[in-house]
Amino acid sequence: MSPSIGDMEPAEAESAYFNEYPPPKALPKHEALARAFVERHVEANRRVVLVTSGGTTVPLEAQTVRFIDNFSAGTRGATSAEYFLEQGYAVIFLHRQYSLLPYSRHYSHSTNCFLDFMDEAAPTSDSENPDHGRIVVRSEYQDQMRDVLRKYRYAKQNNLLLLLPFTTVSEYMFELRSLAKLMRPLGSNALFYLAAAVSDFFIPRSRMAEHKIQSSEIPANFSDDEAVGSNDIYTGENAPEPPKAGKKLVINLDPVPKFLHRLVDGWAPEGSMVVSFKLETDPSLLVYKAKTALQRYSHHLVIGNLLSTRKWEVVFITPDPPHERWIRVPKARRSKSISGVEDQVGLAEIKKGRDGSGPESE
């Protein structure tokens, strides 16, 4: 029996994993965009950060109807990208399709619908007047929206933000590998900020059903003419037996190799900085798991967070003293912030985390 990917050495696991899947269709286009983006910013001697954001899916079928998802709205990634831009970085934003994006995130939450920020201007007496019935931003939001709009325009007009979407975990891995290699000319001007929620398990393509997995038996004498969908209504004497109780679905998943190893040791440019995140739900495990990740992958910083408190507190785990530092948003300031800890501490803290000096903990 051939060894499972989880038992292989990192380099061997890499080729086994990437041989399972064809590269995503969009990869050549994304690579061309990223190459041009990197060249432009190498020329300008500007720092470039690859921010990953949102959750990856694990399809259960090749023609996918069902999939397993990883939790993430993309708030952390989208918010952090804005702070990186403010600090003078150019940002490659590798994100789950339709998750939150830098700047537009302020107005696209279901609780922050952009329509609630708009109004119809007071009607003029002249219906021919172009201002008659004009749509405007409500006066109380003018300052905030102008500020966001200006920053968004600045990033766009100066080619500082490259948006690249992914959906599945294999797409994410292909994109991450290519982008890291394309960023090599940046050397120590490259930073990796891995906030995406990446699946730990997957179904190898070789074991994946091609078509939608059926929940009831298909009769052996089934033919196209008699085909009935599960929602069809059966009537008359010759009606087929209606399906009995649904079949159980047992899913057998393999571990996705931890590609942080390959990123740090192979793909990323020499001298670049790698920041990873660690998400847990059990508070007693968070620091232990984050410290273990830092030791195992020998990168620069692990930012640990708990699902329930991720907006208000994170822990920085660094190789140098103080090794563990908590950053907490004071209770009184929590409700004012859409995205929590990023809005309170900003990105200068990432740099400080690398240097061993750090943000104030509460």
**Site for ligand PMT, rule CB under 6 A:** 72-76, 194-195, 197-198, 200, 256, 258-260, 276-279, 305, 310
Return the number of the residue (160 or 306) whose C-beta is nearest ligand PMT. Answer: 306
DSSP secondary structure, 269-323, as one string: PTT-EEEEEEEES-HHHHHHHHHHHHHHH--SEEEEEETTTTTTEEEEE-SSTT-
Which of 47, 177 has the CB closer to ligand PMT? 177
Helix axes 10-20, 169-182, angle to 10 degrees: 120
Give the nearest distance from C-beta 225 to ligand PMT in angstroms: 46
Minimum gap (Å) between residue 173 Cβ and ligand PMT: 8
Rounded Cα gap, residues 1 and 142, in angstroms: 65
Q: Which is nearer to ligand PMT, 55 or 358 (CB)?
A: 55
Residue closer to ligand PMT by CB (options 41, 275) is 275
Question: For residues 146 and 149, what is the distance between their CA atoms, to the nearest angstrom?
Answer: 5
Residue 198 or 203: the one with the smaller Cβ distance to ligand PMT is 198
How many CB atoms neighbour CB 206 within 10 A?
7
Residue 338 Cβ vs ligand PMT, minimum distance, rounded to whole Å: 11
Question: What's the min distance (Å) between Cβ of 272 and ligand PMT?
Answer: 15
* Amino acid code (one letter) for 108: S
Nearest by Cα to 80 from 319, 310, 357: 310
Least distance (Å) between residue 360 CB and ligand PMT: 20
Peptide bond into 322 cis (omega under 30): yes
Q: Considering beta carbons, is residue 40 or 258 the nearer one to ligand PMT?
A: 258
Q: Provide, rounded to whole angstroms, the least separation between the CB of residue 170 and ligand PMT.
A: 11
At position 290, the amino acid (one-letter code) is A
Query: Is the Cβ–Cβ distance between 92 and 122 less than 8 Å?
Result: no
